[in-house]
Amino acid sequence: MFRASAAGPYDDAVIKATDESFTSEDWGAIIEVCDKVSGDQNGPKEAVQSIIRRLAHRNANVQLYTLEVRYSLLPVCVSN
């Protein structure tokens, strides 16, 4: 369904914000992703690639947290 691709500059931040051991959202890590993306002209495009890769994770909680990161990035991506 998703094609494999090389690791992107936002993979580590997205993985940190969507760790499978979490029992709830880590808003500090989510805000870090948003701040990092907003500071880079290519940030939104590259962050979307990291999010797509993370949505392929087998754990439903990781997928849910990834969607929360995506939702949080909407204002950042729209303004860029």
Q: What is the pLDDT of residues 33-73, one digit of tens each?
A: 999 999 999 999 999 999 999 999 999 999 999 999 999 99
Higher pLDDT, 10 or 78: 10
Q: Please state the pTM of the whole predicted model.
A: 0.85
Is the pLDDT score of 2 beyond 80? no
Within 8 A by CB and 6+ apart from 54, the residues are: 11, 14, 15, 18, 62, 63, 66, 69
Please report, for residues 48, 54, 58, the alpha-carbon distance to residue 61 in angstroms, rounded to integers and kept in the order given: 18, 11, 9
DSSP for residue 20: T
pLDDT-derived band at 7, boundaries 50, 70, 90? confident
**Does residue 24 have a pLDDT over 60?**
yes
Tell which CATH architecture fits domain 23-79: Alpha Horseshoe (1.25)
Two structure tokens written together for 24 = 């709830």
DSSP 8-state assignment for residue 23:
S
